[in-house]
Amino acid sequence: MKVKEIRALSSEDLKKQLEEAYQEMLDLRFRLATKKLVNHREIPRVKKRIARLKTIIKERELGIKQPVKS
């Protein structure tokens, strides 16, 4: 999910997406521990997704406006 798509979501949807990302990270960690994780690149991908979501949630809390790019 790209940043533009994330910014278009409502605050409730952002929190739901964040919760789902944390659940996915937990699942990936369990699969890694049991040696059933096929693609190890999934873990950094989910970490970045969590970071993006948390950044946008924090921006909204602080009331920071993003510049419009043309």
The pLDDT assigned to 1 comes to 76
The pLDDT assigned to 31 comes to 96
The pLDDT assigned to 48 comes to 96
State residue 8 phi and psi, 5-degree precision.
-75, -15
The pLDDT assigned to 66 comes to 73
CATH of the structural domain 3-62, one choice from 1.20.120.1780, 1.20.120.530, 3.40.50.2300, 1.10.287.310: 1.10.287.310
The pLDDT assigned to 22 comes to 98
Q: What is the helix, strand, coil percentage profile of the chain, to 5?
A: 70, 0, 30
The pLDDT assigned to 70 comes to 54
| Positions in the chain whose pLDDT score sits under 70 | 67-70
